[in-house]
Amino acid sequence: MELEEKPIKAVKRDPKGVRRNILRVSSKEFAEYGLSGARVNEIAALTKASKRMIYYYYGDKEGLYKACLEAAYSHVRAGEEKLDLGGLEPDKALAKLVGFTFDHHRKNPDFIRLVMIENIHKAAFLKGSEIIRSVNAAAIKNLTDIIIRGQSSGVFRDKLDPVELHWQISALSFFNVSNKPTFSALFDSELYSDEGQRTLRDHAVEMILLYVSHKQGTQK
Amino acid sequence: MELEEKPIKAVKRDPKGVRRNILRVSSKEFAEYGLSGARVNEIAALTKASKRMIYYYYGDKEGLYKACLEAAYSHVRAGEEKLDLGGLEPDKALAKLVGFTFDHHRKNPDFIRLVMIENIHKAAFLKGSEIIRSVNAAAIKNLTDIIIRGQSSGVFRDKLDPVELHWQISALSFFNVSNKPTFSALFDSELYSDEGQRTLRDHAVEMILLYVSHKQGTQK
Amino acid sequence: MELEEKPIKAVKRDPKGVRRNILRVSSKEFAEYGLSGARVNEIAALTKASKRMIYYYYGDKEGLYKACLEAAYSHVRAGEEKLDLGGLEPDKALAKLVGFTFDHHRKNPDFIRLVMIENIHKAAFLKGSEIIRSVNAAAIKNLTDIIIRGQSSGVFRDKLDPVELHWQISALSFFNVSNKPTFSALFDSELYSDEGQRTLRDHAVEMILLYVSHKQGTQK
Amino acid sequence: MELEEKPIKAVKRDPKGVRRNILRVSSKEFAEYGLSGARVNEIAALTKASKRMIYYYYGDKEGLYKACLEAAYSHVRAGEEKLDLGGLEPDKALAKLVGFTFDHHRKNPDFIRLVMIENIHKAAFLKGSEIIRSVNAAAIKNLTDIIIRGQSSGVFRDKLDPVELHWQISALSFFNVSNKPTFSALFDSELYSDEGQRTLRDHAVEMILLYVSHKQGTQK
DNA sequence: TATGAATGAGGCTTCATTCAT
DNA sequence: AATGAATGAAGCCTCATTCAT
């Protein structure tokens, strides 16, 4: 991303490594404590670099936060790209996608927390990021393909909106992680045991598939 | 907002009013800025009372936050109690409940934000509140009744868990409010227009009803 | 001290009891935390009366502190008056007095702490108290009697100053209590065990008696 | 006070100087007003540095207090090390030591006050300081040497405990300074005039020497 | 005589940030 | 590219005391 500096005498300097390290540490801190809750001092202490470097590279606390947010979205969406729905029938493809999304959210709680925090801030920082918009567009494209194929083969209902479908899948997958603390505190349930999560996941898949398969007038 | 008491002689002491006022102001501030983001100074400035009174009545910032959380849950769950599902058939009752829940969440964005904030804090304060657990238990009881009636009349599937059903309804209703900022920023969609919200609501009702009505083995 | 108020309707009122209670509680608090360290709030909370009563009776915090100081001196010196040295030979009388003083200080650590605190404040409050000066004068008178008798009978040296002797006895007795915390923390010793204290006491008596009995020129 | 470094170019950064300055100022304040009575604001105002630096270097008020305590003990015990008892006979050595201790305490009233304050706090901070324990161990070692020599040459009695002897010397020396305010306020005496102090000192030496020289059974 | 409500002033501490090297 | 020292502003909280009843 930047020109390599002359290797002469650059024995210990590793700008990229330093930046990566700062980002990794601060992402954890922001995810843990929020934007105002995170402490620059603490981030610096946990970093291999000094406090001054944070300001050198990221300007200020908000700049660092924004960088974390972008890195998180990029990382998570990159993980989604590995999902291969290629040869599958549309309903199987959708089922796999929903299940994957549910699992993927579970595996990335820090990302979920950053998004929660960003929502608390009314997406103020995300709005300014073209990078993030672009990585999310891909998710919609995937769904659009599946929907078109499903409708062509007659297994999906008409009038399906890919963005709405994304919303529905996200709702079930995101809430599961975002509201785990309050939900667990409020209800004595096994929903967050391993088996409970499997059930929740299966039922999420089922809900989505029932929904896209449902032909109005026929059943209701 | 309330009836003015006799202004003659200018009665000034009004402990209950002061407490209410502090709670109303600080709830807004916590919902807006979070626990660490909210400023006691700002809350005091917006209050009819002095900063000192906040500490007099609520001990410290966290005590005030916890009081807000409890008041919010109590208020919101009290609103739910007004919902009368009495004479309705179980499927109609459930449909009404889901639609109501979706709307109720929309109408109480500050409550949603407080819950988000509480989740960021891993429900640390909610865990210590017996009050909140008790007001939430009622929600489960309502659902249990509907499920039992629906299963007796054969319109609902077996093996429905009221807590899980509550989770599912909550996921769709909560996410709609909690993630509106990021979702709106990420996707150009009409989901958050008035009509889009009506659609989302109707589809949420549909998803839940399809799910509870689905008989395994029969259809899939 | 004050006129009894009409007993009519005075069912629960007990001014003297209230004052005594306030004094007892606040003496403990001042002894424990010092003048600036003690909290009026805490004192009020531990009192049967209200905070307002403290100000009603004692004016302010310093007034209360001064009242505690005077009460403490009066109480302790009153305890000393019970000591009867009547028929004893002067050396026996002095031995008994020293031993008693040593023990008496040990039994009144809160008094010692109040005096320490007063010394921290450079005796600012004690200076203004005629009461306290008068109760202390008695202690000197006792010693003067013993010295005179001891010198008459030839067992005591000449040129003994009762105030100095009081100082010497006090030093050994006071330091034992006042500096127990730091001394114990600094040195691993058995000086503050029951037996250690007995030894310390016996040796204090011995030191004083050796001193008053010592005839210059004869021994050194 | 120290050599001025080259004033050319006005070197401003001087961490050690800043720390020393903070310590010097705050020691005076703590000695004067106690832990809770001292004001961080006041300390900062008297300092060359800013209030923020106090927290930068010492963490909080208690950390600063503890640093003062340690510095005070180190300083005072260092002063004692200069005392050379080398070639003296044991009784002369002890006499010199007692006299020196008496004077040394008088010359360091702020140290005495800090110890008084620490005793009010039940040695809570001193307990956590290994540094202070170590500097005090030296004092005991000195006395142990003298005692052994005195017993070998037969001028001292048996069964002398160096820690107890230290206690006795300390009692007379410490009380003289610690209780000067109340003692002066209570009694009209010349004990705290220059001559009175000389007398008190001489008699303290005499008391200690009489005590260590006293052979039970022989004299009494 | 008695009290809960209320407070101005000031306490200690922490924050993100910048400076001088 | 890198750092320890330094900071103004503002944060939360507590104090002894007084007010209105």
Give the DSSP letter string of B8-38: TT-----HHHHHHHHHHHHHHHHHHHHHHHS
- B207 Cβ contact list (under 8 Å, min separation 6): A168, A207, A208, A210, A211, B172
User: Among the three residues C59, C83, C104, which one is the final residue of a domain in this structure?
Assistant: C59
User: Among the three residues D10, D38, D59, which one is the final residue of a domain in this structure?
Assistant: D59
**Which segments of chain D does DSSP mark as H helices, in order?**
15-37, 40-46, 51-58, 61-81, 90-107, 109-120, 130-152, 162-178, 180-186, 194-213
* Cα distance from N-terminal residue to C-terminal residue, chain D: 56
| C50-CA/E3-C1' distance, Å | 7
Cα separation, A26 vs A28, in Å, equals 5
Same-domain pairing of A52 and A106: no
| A44-CA/F4-C1' distance, Å | 13
Same-domain pairing of C169 and C107: yes
Name the residue among B69, B116, B83, D5 with its Cα closest to residue A183.
B116
Q: Which helix (H) or strand (E) holds C145?
A: helix C130-152
**CB of B152 lies under 7 Å from some atom of strand E:** no
Q: What is the pLDDT of residue A197?
A: 98
Task: Please answer whether residues A41 and A51 qualify as being in contact, where contact means their C-beta atoms are separated by less than 8 angstroms.
Answer: yes
Three-state secondary structure call for residue A182: helix
Neighbours of C23 (CB within 10 A): 19
Dihedral of alpha carbons D143, D145, D150, D152, sign:
positive
pLDDT band at D35 (very low <50, low <70, confident <90, very high): very high
The mean-pLDDT minimum among B37-51, C126-140, C147-161, D33-47 falls in: C126-140
Q: What is the pLDDT of residue B12?
A: 57
The nucleotide lying nearest D60 (C-alpha to C1') is: E13
Three-state secondary structure call for residue A193: coil
Q: What is the pLDDT of residue D12?
A: 57
CA distances to A17, A18, A29, A53, A136 from A23, in Å:
10, 9, 10, 12, 21
Range D163-179 average pLDDT: 98
Same-domain pairing of B160 and B87: yes
Cα separation, D179 vs D173, in Å, equals 11
pLDDT digits (tens, 9 = 90+) for B29-79: 999 999 999 999 999 999 988 899 999 999 999 999 999 999 999 999 898
Q: How many residues does chain C have?
A: 220
Give percent of chain A above pLDDT 70.
92
**Do chains A and C have 3 or more beta-carbon pairs under 8 angstroms?**
no
The first and second tokens of residue A15, run together, are 């700008």
State yes or no: pLDDT of D154 exceeds 50: yes
The C-alpha angle with vertex C37 and arms to C34 and C41, in degrees rounded to 5, equals 115
Same-domain pairing of A103 and A39: no
Cα separation, D72 vs D27, in Å, equals 8
Task: Please answer whether residues B59 and B24 qualify as being in contact, where contact means their C-beta atoms are separated by less than 8 angstroms.
Answer: no
Cα separation, D168 vs D204, in Å, equals 10
Cα separation, D146 vs D2, in Å, equals 38
Residues in chain A with CB shorter than 8 Å from the CB of B208 are: 207
The first and second tokens of residue B152, run together, are 């007796």
Residues in chain A with CB shorter than 8 Å from the CB of B37 are: 34-37
More confident residue, A122 or C9: A122
Cα separation, A174 vs A171, in Å, equals 5
Taking the CA of residue B12 and the nearest CA in chain A, the distance in Å comes to 37
The C-alpha angle with vertex D120 and arms to D117 and D126, in degrees rounded to 5, equals 70
pLDDT digits (tens, 9 = 90+) for B183-195: 999 998 999 999 9
Task: Please answer whether residues B74 and B91 qualify as being in contact, where contact means their C-beta atoms are separated by less than 8 angstroms.
Answer: no
Residue type for C196, please? Answer: G
What mean pLDDT value characterizes chain C?
A: 90
Half-sphere CA count of B46, side-chain side, radius 13 A: 16
Taking the CA of residue A99 and the nearest CA in chain B, the distance in Å comes to 15
The first and second tokens of residue B154, run together, are 């054969």
Half-sphere CA count of A54, side-chain side, radius 13 A: 27
Same-domain pairing of B18 and B81: no
pLDDT digits (tens, 9 = 90+) for C11-44: 456 778 888 999 999 999 999 999 999 999 999 9
Q: What is the CATH number of the domain that holds C143?
A: 1.10.357.10
**Which segments of chain B does DSSP mark as H helices, in order?**
15-37, 40-46, 51-58, 61-81, 90-107, 109-120, 130-152, 162-178, 180-186, 194-213
- A211 Cβ contact list (under 8 Å, min separation 6): A168, B203, B206, B207, B210
- Which residue in B166, B185, B189 is closest to A126 by CB distance? B185
State yes or no: pLDDT of C218 exceeds 60: no
Give percent of chain A above pLDDT 90.
72
Same-domain pairing of B86 and B173: yes
pLDDT digits (tens, 9 = 90+) for A22-71: 999 999 999 999 999 999 999 999 988 888 899 999 999 999 999 999 99
Cα separation, B45 vs D83, in Å, equals 63
Task: Please answer whether residues B120 and A181 qualify as being in contact, where contact means their C-beta atoms are separated by less than 8 angstroms.
Answer: no
Same-domain pairing of D191 and D166: yes
Task: Please answer whether residues A104 and A79 qualify as being in contact, where contact means their C-beta atoms are separated by less than 8 angstroms.
Answer: yes
Neighbours of A194 (CB within 10 A): 8
Helix D15-37 vs helix D109-120: crossing angle, to nearest 10 = 50
- Which residue in D122, D132, D181 is closest to C186 by CB distance? D132
Cα–chain center distance at A113: 9
What mean pLDDT value characterizes chain B?
A: 91
The first and second tokens of residue C40, run together, are 């009026």
Same-domain pairing of D50 and D20: yes
The C-alpha angle with vertex A185 and arms to A182 and A188, in degrees rounded to 5, equals 125
Same-domain pairing of B32 and B120: no
Q: What is the pLDDT of residue B8?
A: 33
Count: domains in chain D: 2
pLDDT digits (tens, 9 = 90+) for B150-196: 999 999 999 999 999 999 999 999 999 999 999 999 998 999 999 99
Cα–chain center distance at B129: 16
Q: What is the CATH number of the domain that holds C30?
A: 1.10.10.60
Helix C51-58 vs helix C61-81: crossing angle, to nearest 10 = 70
Same-domain pairing of D44 and D74: no
More confident residue, B220 or A160: A160
Name the residue among C174, C218, C165 with its Cα closest to residue D203.
C165
- Give strand E nucleotides closer than 7 A to any protein Cβ: 1-21
More confident residue, B12 or D24: D24
Cα–chain center distance at D86: 22
Within 17-46 of chain D, which residues have Cβ less than 7 Å from strand E?
38-41
- Which residue in B187, B211, B214 is closest to A136 by CB distance? B187
Cα separation, D123 vs D100, in Å, equals 25
Q: What is the pLDDT of residue D159?
A: 93
Range A147-171 average pLDDT: 97
Taking the CA of residue C79 and the nearest CA in chain D, the distance in Å comes to 18
Q: What is the pLDDT of residue B7?
A: 37
- C115 Cβ contact list (under 8 Å, min separation 6): C72, C174, C178, D179, D182
**CB of C39 lies under 7 Å from some atom of strand E:** no
Domain around D7: 1-59
Same-domain pairing of B149 and B176: yes
The first and second tokens of residue D93, run together, are 């050595």
Q: How is chain A split among helix, strand and coil, in percent rounded to 5?
A: 70, 0, 30
Three-state secondary structure call for residue C8: coil
The nucleotide lying nearest B49 (C-alpha to C1') is: E6
Mutate to test the interface with C, among D126, D167, D180, D200 (most CBs of C within 10 A): D167
Mutate to test the interface with A, among B40, B156, B169, B186 (most CBs of A within 10 A): B186
The nucleotide lying nearest B53 (C-alpha to C1') is: E6
Taking the CA of residue C78 and the nearest CA in chain D, the distance in Å comes to 16
Cα separation, C156 vs C150, in Å, equals 5
Task: Please answer whether residues C212 and C157 qualify as being in contact, where contact means their C-beta atoms are separated by less than 8 angstroms.
Answer: yes
User: Among the three residues A32, A59, A86, which one is the final residue of a domain in this structure?
Assistant: A59
Residue type for C97, please? Answer: L
pLDDT digits (tens, 9 = 90+) for A62-96: 999 999 999 999 998 888 888 988 789 999 999 99
Same-domain pairing of D149 and D121: yes
Are A136 and B186 an interchain contact pair (Cβ–Cβ within 8 Å)?
yes
Per the confidence metrics, is the pTM higher than 0.85? Answer: yes
- Which residue in C36, C185, C191 is closest to D167 by CB distance? C191
C190: which DSSP letter?
Answer: S
